[in-house]
Structure 1
C-alpha cells in the first residue's frame, strides 16, 4: 500500500476507478473525492504507513482542527468506504477502516445559531459596491432568511428561480432527493439581493450556477463548499465573531429558531427546512422550550 501512497498517478487512478464504481449523486462523488484526497495528503505529510492507528490519528487531527462531530464523521465515511473497496479488490491485505469507530452525535444535537444582531452585523459588513459583495450579500440573505443547506446552494442554477402562485421561489435539490422538487419561498429581501447580484453578472446563461466565483483563479466557476466557507469566514472575522463555529448550518439554525420565536407554526418551519420527519424540526422546539421554560427557574429556595 505504501507504493500507492507515494505514487500520486497510481493513487489517483485507483480513486477515479473507485468513484466511477459507486452509485451516488455526482455532488456526493465530488465530496468523496475531496475527502479521500485530503486524507492521503495528510498521510504523506505525516510520513506514516497506512494502518488502523493512522486512521485513529487522522480522526484526532480533525478533532484538533475544531471540526464538529458531524463534519468529522462525514470525512471518515468516505475514507471507510474507500478502504473497504481497496480490501475487496485485493489492493490491500487488511482493511484498516473496518473497526474505525465514528464519533457519537449527542441526541438532539444542534449547532448554536446566530443571533439577529450577529446576522445583521455580518450583512452590514458586506461591501455591496463590488460584484463579489453583491454575491456575498445575496448568499448570506438566502442562508439566513430561507434556511438553505450548503449543498442546496451549490446545486442551484439561475433558472431554478420560479414564480409559483405569485410568489418567487427557488427550487432546490433537497437532501436525499433525485430531483429538484423542493423549494424555498424567497422573501422580498432575499429576492431583491439576488436580482441585484444577477443584474451585475449580466450577460449570463439561464442554466448557469446561481452563485459563481469571481476570483481570477476560478472566474465563472461554481462555488465550492470550501469557497462558501471562506466567504463566511471572511465576514465572521471582520465582525469579530470568531468564536462562532464556521458553518452554513449556523444560518440554517437561525432561520429555524427565529421563525419559531416569532410565532411560526412548527409544521410550516418543517416545510421551510424541508425536513422529511417532523421530529427533526421538533428538536428546535425542544431546545427553545428547554430555555424559555427551564425547570431550574421553578426551583424555590
Structure 2
C-alpha cells in the first residue's frame, strides 16, 4: 500500500480539491478525516490509473476489498465518501462523471430500526443535566432532541443565526444548505437566556452561540462529551435503558420519531431534518409495539365462530 505522500505525488490535485470542497461544504472535522482516509484508500486501489477514467467496476472492487468483516453501514459510509470525492472533482472540473453514483447502497441498513428515546425518557435525561453550565448544556440537548440538529450544526450555530422575534434559527447543514427552523416557544426562551448569559469569547469578534470555558467555540467533541455524560447519568438511574446505544445522533432520531408518531406529514419532517431525499426520512417510519397493540385492538372478531 502506498503512503499518503506517494499518493499525493500521483493525485495531489485531486486530494487537495477534495479537502477544500469538504471544508467549504461545512463537513465536520471528523467526517473530513474519515472521508479523506477513504479517498486515499480508493486512490491506492486504482494503482496509478486515472480517477477520471475509473468506472463503476473500480468502485465496486474497492468496496469488496474493504467488505471483509465490515457491515452494511461501513460499506455505505465508504460509498458515501467516494461519491462525495467525485462530486468534489466534478465541482472543480477535474472529472465529468461520478461512477460511485452508479453503485447502489446496501438496502440492509434501511431495515435497521433506529435507536431513540421515548418522550418520558427524554424528559428524564434532561433532568440529569446539572452543573455550572446547566442552561447552556440543556439548550444544546434541546436543539438536538426538539429541533433535530446534527452535532455539527450545533457546533456551527452563531448568535446571528437565532432570531428571537421570529422564533427561528438558521441552520447551515449538509450540502451547504441553509434551513430555517421554527423553534418552540419554550426553547426560544431558553436560547434567549443562554445568549444573554453567554461566556465572554476569547476573541471579541467570535459569534459562536455556544462558548467553552476557555472562550472558544464549543467543539464537536465537547458537545458529544456533554451528551455522553448526560446519557451515563440517565442510564445509572434507569437500568432498563442500560443497553441502549445513545449518542447525539440518537437525539435526532428521537426528534423525527416524535414528529411522525404525532402524525406530522413525512414531507414536513424531511424539510425540518434537512434531508435531500425523502427515502432518508423513511427510516424513521418504524412502528413500535404499543402502536401494533393499538392497531390490533381495533379488530373485532365475529361473535359466533
TM-score by length of 2: 0.63
- 1:114 partner SS: coil
Shift of 1:235: 1.6
* Aligned match of 2:188: 191
**1:73 aligns to 2:68 (yes or no):** no
1:144 aligns to what? 145
Shift of 1:139: 0.7
- Contact 2:151 2:224 (8 Å CA) reproduced: no
Partner residue of 2:49? none
- Residue 130 of structure 1 corresponds to 132
Q: 1:237 aligns with which of 232, 246, 271?
A: 232
Verify: 1:160 aligned to 2:164, yes or no.
Answer: no
* Separation (CA, whole Å) in 2 of partners of 1:230 and 1:57: 34
Output the CA distance in 1 between the equivalents of 2:19 and 2:261: 46
Cα gap change, 1:292/1:206 in structure 2, threshold over 3 Å: closer, same or farther? farther
Give 3-state SS (helix, strand or coil) of 1:183's partner: strand
1:78 Cα deviation after fit = 3.2
Aligned to 2:33: 34
Distance in 1, Cα, partners of 2:104 & 2:261: 37
User: Secondary structure of the residue that 1:287 maps to in structure 2?
Assistant: coil
Residue 172 of structure 1 aligns to a residue whose secondary structure is: strand
| Counterpart in the other structure of 1:210 | 209
Structure 1 residue 81, shift from structure 2 partner: 7.2
Shift of 1:170: 0.5
Residues 197-253 of structure 1 deviation map (CA, whole Å, 9 limit, x = unaligned): 333324456762223443x6xx513422x4433322222122224422233332222
Return the alpha-carbon distance in structure 1 between the equivalents of residues 45 and 280 of structure 2. Answer: 37
- Structure 2 gap ranges (5+): 47-60, 89-99, 236-240
Maintained 8 Å contact 1:158/1:208:
yes
CA–CA distance in structure 1, aligned partners of residues 152 and 243 of structure 2:
24
Matched-pair contact (CA < 8 Å) for 2:110–2:283: no
* In structure 2, C-alpha distance between the alignment counterparts of 1:221 and 1:123, rounded to whole Å: 23
CA distance in 2, matches of 1:34, 1:121: 35
2:198 corresponds in structure 1 to 201
* Aligned equivalents of 1:58, 1:36: Cα separation in 2: 14
Counterpart check, 1:115 vs 2:115: no
Within 2, Cα distance between the matches of 1:157 and 1:36? 26
Worse-matched range after superposition: 53-62 or 231-240: 53-62
Q: Counterpart of 1:254 in 2: which secondary structure?
A: helix
In structure 1, runs of 5+ residues without a counterpart are 44-49, 86-96
- Name the Cα RMSD after superposition: 4.8
1:273 is aligned to 2:273: yes
Deviations 1:89-112 (A, max 9, x none): xxxxxxxx9xx9965444455512
Number of equivalenced pairs: 268
Tell me what 2:174 maps to: 175
Q: Given the two structures, how large is their TM-score scaled by the length of structure 1? A: 0.64
Task: Give the secondary structure class of the aligned counterpart of 1:184.
Answer: strand
Q: What secondary structure sits across from 1:244 in the alignment?
A: coil
Contact 1:260/1:269, CA 8 A, preserved across alignment: yes
